[in-house]
């Protein structure tokens, strides 16, 4: 069975003053029986990971090399050194703004695994690609190109047009993509592919979480804006635990 996971992506938001918000999420995670992961910006990782409670901590990116002359970057081993257990890779904001390719994402995922981190690999089509009827083909090509040769991964389907826009695909559209991803994971990994969690991401809110979590092969969510406040993130975590 895939693990149920609510993961929060804080992006480039938050300061030391936000640690009380992270503590509120960590406190609630103790009573909610599904895995909660928070991915704050790098400067908060160590303090967030040191807070009491079962909240797991993740980075938002890592370099594919273990160390070296890469000014401004952070390695997977350094994320682990801060107390992170997960890392988001291939987010569409990085694919777009930094030109990250599928093969680079795969190299980063392998680097994460080498340092004991579980990669959360993001995939998703643009609005034009969906309009052209290419959503499934695009997402499956990203999966094939970005996936390391290891079953210890989490997949996040995040249609680019749904991120931070308030737009959410229909239940039928999410179902179609998640079923296609599951089928591809089974082809790649055999029966073990059944245990990989496939998260949906893109404008998940307390108001739509229950409907999204009822979709087969949706094993949780990657949440951006609504993860910044415990009062928004906690109802999403609860909806998943109750699904
Ligand atoms: C994201 O950036 O990963 C995301 C899903 O953002 P939002 O929930 O704000 O759409």
Among residues 110, 135, 99, 122, the alpha carbon closest in space to that of 201 is found at 122
Residue ranges with strand state E in the chain: 5-9, 35-39, 56-59, 86-89, 118-123, 154-157, 198-201, 220-223
HSE at residue 115, side-chain half, CA atoms within 13 A, is 29
The residue whose two tokens read 């400067």 is 43
**164 Cβ below 6 A of ligand 1:** yes
* pLDDT reported for residue 53: 86
Whole-number average pLDDT of the chain: 97
Question: How remote is the CA of residue 200 from the centroid of ligand 1, in Å?
Answer: 10
Could you say which of 91, 93, 100, 125 is catalytic?
Answer: 91
DSSP letter for 147, please. -
Dihedral of CA atoms 146, 149, 152, 156 in degrees, nearest 10, equals 20
* pLDDT reported for residue 30: 87
Average pLDDT over residues 211-234: 97
The answer to whether residue 10 scores a pLDDT higher than 90 is yes
**61 Cβ below 6 A of ligand 1:** no
Among residues 90, 154, 167, the alpha carbon closest in space to that of 127 is found at 167
Rounded to whole angstroms, the Cα distance separating 22 from 38 reads 8
Residues with Cβ within 8 Å of 26's Cβ and at least 6 positions away in sequence, in order, are: 38, 51, 52, 53, 54, 55
Quick: pLDDT tens for 76-109: 999 999 999 999 999 999 999 999 999 999 999 9
Q: Which two tokens stand for residue 103?
A: 């093969």
- 125 a catalytic residue: no
Handedness of CA 37, 38, 44, 49 (dihedral sign): negative
Q: Which two tokens stand for residue 130?
A: 């969906």
Quick: pLDDT tens for 195-207: 999 999 999 999 9
**6 Cβ below 6 A of ligand 1:** no
HSE at residue 108, side-chain half, CA atoms within 13 A, is 29
| DSSP result, 114-133 | HTTPEEEEEE---HHHHHTT
The percent of residues above 90 in pLDDT, for the chain, comes to 96
Average pLDDT over residues 219-234: 97
Tell me if residue 156 falls in helix, strand or coil: strand
CATH topology of domain 5-242: TIM Barrel (3.20.20)
* pLDDT reported for residue 141: 98
Quick: pLDDT tens for 14-47: 999 999 999 999 999 888 888 999 999 999 999 9
């Amino acid at each position: 069975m895939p693990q149920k996971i609510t993961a929060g992506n804080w992006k480039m938001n938050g300061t030391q003053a936000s640690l009380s918000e992270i503590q509120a999420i960590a406190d609630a995670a103790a009573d909610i029986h599904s895995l909660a992961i928070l991915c704050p910006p790098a400067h908060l990782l160590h303090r967030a990971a040191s807070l009491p409670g079962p909240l797991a901590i993740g980075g938002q990116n890592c370099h594919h090399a273990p160390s070296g002359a890469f000014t401004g970057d952070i390695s997977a081993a350094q994320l682990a050194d801060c107390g992170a257990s997960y890392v988001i890779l291939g987010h569409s904001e990085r694919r777009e703004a930094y030109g990250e390719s599928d093969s680079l994402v795969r190299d980063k995922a392998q680097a994460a695994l080498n340092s004991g981190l579980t990669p959360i690999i993001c995939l998703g089509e643009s609005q034009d690609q969906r309009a052209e009827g290419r959503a499934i083909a695009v997402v499956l090509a990203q999966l094939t190109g970005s996936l390391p040769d290891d079953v210890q991964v989490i997949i996040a389907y995040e249609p680019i047009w749904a991120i931070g826009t308030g737009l959410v695909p229909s239940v039928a559209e999410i179902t179609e993509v998640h079923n296609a991803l599951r089928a591809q994971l089974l082809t790649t990994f055999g029966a073990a592919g059944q245990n990989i969690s496939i998260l949906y991401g893109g404008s998940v809110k307390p108001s739509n979480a229950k409907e999204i979590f009822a979709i087969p092969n949706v094993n949780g969510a990657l949440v951006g804006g609504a993860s910044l406040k415990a009062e928004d993130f906690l109802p999403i975590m609860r909806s998943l635990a109750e699904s």
